Amino acid sequence: MQDLKIAVVGATGMVGQEFIKILKQRNIPAKNLRLLASARSAGSIVYYGSNEITVEETTPSAFNGINIALFSAGGDVSRYYAPLAVKAGATVIDNSSAWRMDPEVPLVIPEVNAADLEQHNGIIANPNCSTIQMLMALAPLHRINPVKRIIVSTYQSVSGAGGKAVFELQTQSRQVLDGQSVNPHVFPHQIAFNVLPHIDVFLDNGFTKEEMKMVNETHKMLHDYSIIVTATCARVPVLNGHSESITVEFYESMPADEARGILTMVKGVKVLDDPTINVYPQPWSATGSDDTFVGRIRQDLSQPNCINMWVVADNIRKGAALNAIQIAETLAANDWVKAKGVR
Ligand code: 25A
Ligand code: L14
C-alpha cells in the first residue's frame, strides 16, 4: 500500500476529508497522494501532516501514473471519470451508487465478501453506508445460521448527505432555539428537531432509492437472492453516525446469547450490550471509530427464530472512507490492484 500512487476524487468533501485522515494514519507518503476535486476547489491547500498538498481539478489526465483512485464526488462524476481513470491505468474504488449493481463490478465489504475483489475489471464499488453496517452485524450470523428475512429501520445522520447538510442542521438548530424561521435547502423540510422518513429519491414502488439499496446490495454481497429484506430509512437530526433497528429471522433458532457470542468474536464488530448499566451503541460515541457497534440483542417476541438488535457505525468512516481504504488494502495484500486482464 505504501508504494501505491493514490488519487482522491472529491478530496474537499466529507468523505474525501476522511479518506485523507485515514491515509495519513496509514502513513501513506504525501508524494504518493494526488488530491482532486471540482474546478471550484482546485488550488486550495489541504494539510497532510506537515505537508501542504494543492487540490487539482479532476481531468482525464489527472489519473496518469495513479494506481488506485478513491472516488467520492457523487454519481455523475463517477459515471464519467471512473472509466477514464481505468483507461489511464488506475483501479477505481467508488463511493457513489453509480456502479454498485453493475454485474461486472464487485461490491465489497472486506469482512464480508473480500473474495469478490479478485475478479474486478478496474472498477470496484463501495456499498451504501447503511448496508455496510447492517451486514457487518448480520453476515457473521448468516454464515452460521442462514438469514431468512430482515426488517430494518434506519436513523441516519446528516453527514451522509455531505458537508452542506451538516451545516444546515447546525444552522437550523441555532435558528429554532433563537425563535427564528428556518429555510430548508439540502433537505426538503426542516431537519432540526425533526425526523424525515425520506433518504434519496422516491421510487414507483413507494420505497426510496436508499431503502432499495439495502435490499439489492444485501442480495449481491451475500450472494443470496432468497433473503427477504424490507427497509425504512429515516433522516434524524444527528450530525454523524447512523443507527439501525434490525429484526432478523433465521431458518433455525438463534438464541440472543448465541448471537451475542458470535458477534463478540468478529473483527470490526464490538458488542456493547449491558442494559443493567445502560450500555448500548450510540452514534455520538461511535463517531471516529472503525468498529460497527451492536447492542440491544434480544429475542423477538412476535416470531420464532427471530432476534432484534441495534447497530451503530460512523457512516463517513466504516460506511464510506474506511471501507474503501480497506478494499484498497485487500487489493494490495493479494496483488489484485491491477484488473484481472492486465495482471
Ligand atoms: O450520487 P451519490 O452517490 O448519491 O452522491 C451524492 C453526494 O453524496 C456524497 C458526496 O458528497 C456526493 O456529492 N457521497 C458520495 N458517496 C458517499 C458516501 N459513501 C457520500 N456521502 C456519504 N457516504 P460530499 O459532500 O461528501 O462530497 C462532495 C465532493 O464532490 C466534489 N465534487 C463535486 N463535483 C465534482 C467534484 N469533484 C470532482 N469533480 C467534480 N465535477 C466536491 O468538491 C466535494 O469534494 P468541490 O470542490 O466541488 O466542493 C468543495 C467545496 O465547494 C463548495 N461548493 C459545493 N457546491 C458549490 C460550492 N461552492 C460554490 N458553488 C457551488 N455550487 C462546498 O461547500 C465545498 O466546501
Ligand atoms: O448511496 O444521504 O452511498 O445519508 C450515501 C449517503 C446515499 C445517501 C449512498 C445519505 C448515499 C446517503
Using one digit for the tens of pLDDT, what is the confidence trace for 161-195?
A: 999 999 999 999 999 999 999 999 999 999 999 99
pLDDT digits (tens, 9 = 90+) for 122-154: 999 999 999 999 999 999 999 999 999 999 999
Ligand 1 neighbours, Cβ below 6 Å, are: 9-10, 12-16, 37-38, 40-41, 58, 72-75, 77, 95-97, 129, 160, 162-164, 319-320
Its pTM stands at 0.92
Tell me how far the alpha carbon of residue 222 lies from the centroid of ligand 1, in angstroms: 30
Q: Which three cell numbers stand for residue 10?
A: 472529491
> How many other β-carbons are positioned within 10 Å of the β-carbon of residue 203?
12
pLDDT of residue 13: 95
| Pairing state between β 228-235 and 123-125 | unpaired
pLDDT of residue 153: 99
- 313 CB-near residues (< 8 Å, 6+ apart): 129, 132, 133, 136, 241, 242, 286, 289, 291, 292, 293, 319
pLDDT of residue 307: 98
Q: In angstroms, how far is the first alpha carbon of the chain from the final one?
A: 17
The answer to whether residue 342 scores a pLDDT higher than 90 is no
Residue 230's H or E segment, with its range, is strand 228-235
Residue 116, CB-side half-sphere exposure with 13 Å CA sphere: 21
Question: Measured from the CB, is residue 213 less than 6 Å from ligand 2?
Answer: yes
- 49 CB-near residues (< 8 Å, 6+ apart): 24, 30
The C-alpha atoms of residue 102 and residue 122 are separated, in whole angstroms, by 13
- Average pLDDT value for residue range 256-277: 98
> How many other β-carbons are positioned within 10 Å of the β-carbon of residue 305?
16
pLDDT digits (tens, 9 = 90+) for 39-74: 999 999 999 999 999 999 999 999 999 999 999 999
